[in-house]
Amino acid sequence: MARVSYAGPEFDPPHPRRSPLRRTLVVALAALVPGALLGWVAYEALGGSGDGGPDRGTGAASSSQASPSGGPGGTGGDERPGASASPSGTASAPAGAGSLKGRVVVIDPGHNPANAEHTAEINRKVDIGTNRKECDTTGTSTNSGYSEAAFTLDVAHRLRTLLERQGATVKLTQDGDRPYGPCVDERARIGNAAHADAVVSIHADGSGTGNRGYHVILPGAVRAGAADTGAIVGPSRDLGKLIADDFGRVTGSAPSNYIGDGSGLVTRKDLGGLNLSTVPKVFIECGNMRDSKDAALLTSGAWRQKAAQGISEGIVSFLRG
């Protein structure tokens, strides 16, 4: 049988006798400990030592430098276009915000989602200086049916957000708010009437499979009829080169492998939107919608945000001189 022990009041072992001095010390400690605890609580409530040690707040909001928005790791289609964040995760203004105050940028989203429903109107010929040309076209699309007009309008909205955050005044030639067009001559007049510091017409190409990459179209020297590009050829080339460089860097795309000799720059004299412009203006063909690899990029919201960021950085560099 196991041995069972029991200690009750009558069986407690005798305790050694404590001295009067020990009893005095115990009483003193019992009085001091609560006071010390109360002091520590008050100390912490007032902010501690205030030296900002690890994970310790200082009791005041600290400022943080805004991280640059966009870039190769820019926001995707589901994020707020152009947003940047501070290290603490709070939204902050992009570097240089407000630096374009007083500058005017016109964005020209190529074609119009409703052009296909107004073929008679868009086939009407208009004067482009060197000759007469159709008012507008329907544009191209990917093999899966994503239209160039939808692409250009989406990139235009993202670009507008980025530029407005830099302080620029931004106008669109169309915002899906008209039945068709505008015609190419009117697109030029919109930029002229706004006295724009820069105009960018956004497009995507419809070339053959295997043709990939982007290119920027510059105005050639034209002086015929209502067209006279003499004053804008130089600044437009500066604008176009900056956009081409920044677009390639931010998106990671290569310049066109089928036009422009690898430079990403092409000069044309047959586009009314350029011929009739009196302010610096370029077109950008962001990629080839008929190539499956380029189409995968053009249909990605994240990539379109990078495209807008690249165009924006080129415009900002141009306007800052």
pLDDT tens for 212-227 read 999 999 999 999 999 9
Confidence bin at 98 (pLDDT 50/70/90): low
Half-sphere exposure of 231 (CA within 13 A, CB side): 7
The answer, yes or no, to whether residue 303 has pLDDT greater than 90, is: yes
pLDDT higher for 138 or 67?
138
What is the structure's pLDDT at 97? 59
Mean pLDDT, residues 125-145: 97
Q: What is the pLDDT of residue 37?
A: 47
Residue 31: the pLDDT is 52
The residue-averaged pLDDT of 103-113 equals 98
The answer on pLDDT for 234 being more than 80 is yes
Please provide the average confidence, as pLDDT, over all residues in the chain.
80
Task: Give the global pTM.
Answer: 0.72
With 50 as the cut, is the pLDDT of residue 71 above it? no
| Mean pLDDT value of segment 128-135 | 97
Residue 289's pLDDT is 98
**Average pLDDT of 182-200?**
98
Beta strands in the chain (DSSP E): 84-85, 91-92, 104-109, 125-127, 132-134, 169-172, 198-205, 215-219, 223-224, 227-228, 265-268, 281-288
285 is catalytic: yes
pLDDT on residue 80: 38
Q: Is the pLDDT of residue 74 over 90?
A: no
Looking at per-residue pLDDT, the higher value among 75 and 310 belongs to 310
pLDDT of 25 over the 80 cut? no
Active-site hit among 148, 186, 285, 313: 285
Q: Contact at 8 Å (CB) between 167 and 151?
A: no
Q: Which of 48-57, 100-109, 198-207 has the lowest mean pLDDT?
A: 48-57
The residue among 90 and 190 whose pLDDT is bigger is: 190
**pLDDT for the residue numbered 66:** 31
Say whether pLDDT at 6 is over 50. no
DSSP E strand stretches across 113-249: 125-127, 132-134, 169-172, 198-205, 215-219, 223-224, 227-228
Tell me the pairing of strands 91-92 and 84-85.
antiparallel
> What mean pLDDT do residues 18-47 have?
46
Mean per-residue pLDDT, 19-38:
48
Position 69 confidence tier, pLDDT thresholds 50, 70, 90: very low
With H, G, I as helix, E, B as strand and everything else as coil, classify residue 137.
coil
Domains of the chain in sequence order: 93-320 (3.40.630.40)
DSSP conformation class of 311: H
pLDDT of residue 211: 98
Give bridge partners of residue 105 from the DSSP assignment. Answer: 170, 198
At residue 19 the predicted structure's pLDDT band, cuts being 50, 70 and 90, is very low
